[in-house]
Structure 1
Amino acid sequence: MLARTNVVADSLRTALQASGVPIRRRIDAPGTPVARLLDDLGRATSAARLRSFAHDVLDVVDPTASETAATPHTASTTRDARQREAERLVATAVLEFLRDHPEGTGAELLSWRNSTDPFATRDASGVEVLTFHAAKGREWHTVVLAGVETGLVPHRSATGLAARAEEARLLYVAATRARDRLIVISAARRGGYARQRSPLVDGFAFGDIDAVPAPREIRRLVPRGAPTDPAEVALEAWRQRAARAAAIDPAALCSDRQLREIAATKPRTVAELVAATGLGTITAAALIDGIVDALDDVERV
């Protein structure tokens, strides 16, 4: 579920929990130690800076570890332990990223995080609740946009043309996080005031929508040598969708050579994907479900 503001997102979490619906909480959510580390590393302009951080964290042995075990439990020691655990998780992910992208930068690390989910947060059960801003680069099969109403979308603080245009862009980002199904809901009343559905969704086509083929003019632009093998065609379509959702270049997800190897070997497990492509385990684990779905679609045709 996506909301325009943190206030609405918090109210959604409260309502879901009161109804017994589990909430999925990300360890790299904004404000967490993991998120702060990633924000800092995202500014790194070289792979050397990332590699130095990872090795500094993982190569250091804490000489006070045995003493800490006998130290009384305090809020301070808890915070320190959480910070060390966050550093270990991020450092491990950084080395996995550098294995696949030896010359990668901090910006590329963040894109890789969005596409591979190295902290395994997408495997957890429950509903994920985020703001429109926090959803950038993410993708789900079903997305509910909540609070799409006057006063929130566009936000009442957006009074100028530029600000309202930015609100429309933000709604577009949120709406395109849905891979298969998008649900838009609004309140008739909020905070004691009557509300109406946001005018920004007046142009939305609601209901079951049939896929529209590309115009002939576009199909003519497909370069010669494009894949004709059904498995490779399906995998290329999957790669384009996944890369678009993560806002990265498709080749950063997996190379053309790796895509051909996947089409030829048709891996069904993480181990098989690693063996076929040489991808890291974390990357392979993040990609395998989409790859299997694409291959299954071919077999069903």
Structure 2
Amino acid sequence: MRSVDATLAADQILDALDPEQRAVATALHGPVCVLAGAGTGKTRAITHRIAYGVRTGAMVPQQVLAVTFTTRAAGEMRGRLRTLGAEGVQARTFHSAALRQLQYFWGRAVGGEPPRIVERKVQYVAEAASRCGIRLSRPELRDLTAEIEWSKVTQTAPEDYPAVVAKLRREAPRDPAETAAVYSEYEQLKLNRWVIDFEDVLLRTVGILETVPEVAQQVRSQYRHLVVDEYQDVSPLQQRLLELWLGDRQNLCVVGDASQTIYSFTGATPRFLLDFRARHPDAEVVKLVRDYRSTPQVVHLANGLLAQASGEAAAHRLELIAQTEAGPEPVFTEYADEPAEAEAVAHRIRDLVNSGTKASEIAVLFRTNAQSEVYEQALADLGLAVQMRGAERFFERAEVREARVLLGGQARSGDWTGLAATSADPLETQVRAVLAKRGLTAEPPSGSGSVRERWESLSAVARLAAEFASANPGAGLGEFTAELDARANLQHAPTVEGVTLASLHAAKGLEWDAVFLVGLSEGMMPITYAKTDEALEEERRLLYVGVTRARRHLHLSWWTTRTPGGRGSRVPCRFLDGLRPGSTARPGGGAKGRSGAGAAGGGRKRGPVRCRVCGSALSDARERKLRRCSDCPSTMDEGLFERLREWRGDLARARSVPAYVVFTDATLMAIAESRPTEIRQLAEIPGVGPAKLDQYAEDVLTLCTGGSESPESPESQECDAGDTTDTSDALDSEGARTDT
């Protein structure tokens, strides 16, 4: 029986929830599917569900396993459960939970010492490629590594890879047969050296659970209740592991939002969320649509973005209902170039800080990590500190580890000789006095960089001391160091003061009072290489995630050219059509490509690419680029091809980049066969995206039309480094695959 106190505590847990959240919390026996929109309190709902289950006796803490996708999210969940009195619940990432099981059961299931985990798999992929006689540039190596990761999480074996790629019509980064060969050699290399990679942790755990029934039974006996957060992001491999954990039981609660699926390049799919009711006909489904995060103005824009979407995920979109008071309208701004945008954004941020908004409550979000530098510099020029999302974990920073050691030693010794504080002073004063030994001053150092980052970390520890003292009157340095230890174990980090700079992928799950979405120009958002309907819709969802990070202030901006003095041919992101002032919605919600130099894909039509000679459908990447079968007659202008090659070589040497970064041979052949005379025709050639049109269109068209005036010399051209690597050609070396 429950005690009176336990009953009251359980009722108090429910008092903090709205009707839909309460429905989640009281659905203690599965299967349960929670469809939770952005800002609707999904983490609150599921942590209160676990806490309510523990308080009522329906769940034993040690028998609950809650899994999510990032260490930060797992740490936050553990922190909330601890606050709610549900300590002992295992809240982990999929990989962390699997690794614990793998290490624990290896001796019994396999025998001997378990393999060690490789720290940098890219080195093994590079060696495997070399053994296959394949030389790779750093971007190519990164893309190939990501492709191997995708293959493993989708449970695709090396020998099956070419067929799977063809069946899915997946745009592979290089020839599928080469990828399969390197993939196979990579797996053999790991086996020979008795190491495993990140994906192997899941694969090996799945293998043990599938082949050793007594181990599977023990795991299922240990974990009677399973909770999965961000369920729209599970891969087929993670789903298989989840099914093995669950067995034939029904106590499963999943939470997700198909409109926030943004990691398909890692193998994530919303399919398991959308099909949950089909697999579990008796499932209780609860929808959370009350948005407690954003103003009605922000919510209206977010709903408008999804209203124009297409595809199955869009059909299951959740219409958010704002619950906060009204705020300012989102601001849309066009700039001449990226530096102008960065400078203006920095000044707006300074105004917000001067008017009372904390720097830690402001974020600048961009599509690729390569965009961060110009904004970091602009903020530093105004004396504003920054923090990069996705950097080293807070409690793993050297200065934070030192601070914990110093504070622990001071608490044990009690000797305040030589310090600017005593044991009678407030806790924050004591902490600041101790950390002054490691560089914590009353005022922050000027500029940015490692010195400022160190100061921000130490300052965050001091602020945490003030918060701890406020919540625990009379607590001393000993109690505070114990709190730091507990937080470190939970990865429950304090907030660091400073404007956050992050990619849209890294911003998932976070929120700020003010959000600046920058670089929303066609070719950057949606990204150049997003050419299929599915890829474009994922780009829309990525922008939706960015919009829904904002609580009150939302600024959206774009530039017409990335480099000062360049041709202003870029246009605003198509997803904003009909939403920004002065624009109109396009048929199909703007998902179709635009024509003109600023359009991603140059407005080319999607669908089967057919040979322009015989009309056959083309599947080979090279044939699609040439737009003809390899055995159909070529109409290439040999003289033009050689002029293009010579121009490309001069430009590549001047910029110290490989020639294929400018254009691949296949693209030059396609240009020499098509002989375009205007930008629209050039934009229709695969491999010629907006970035390359901005930089090379004038030169290429001059060569194609046989103009007497030679293209401008490479030495006199400005090199837009971001657009050079952010291409739609065979080398897609932009860093989206590594954003997460």
TM-score tier by shorter-chain length is 0.3 to 0.5
TM-score, length-scaled by structure 2: 0.17
Which structure: larger Rg? 2
Per chain length, whose mean CA-contact separation is higher, i.e. which structure has more relative contact order (CA < 8 Å, sep 6+)?
1
TM-score, length-scaled by structure 1: 0.39
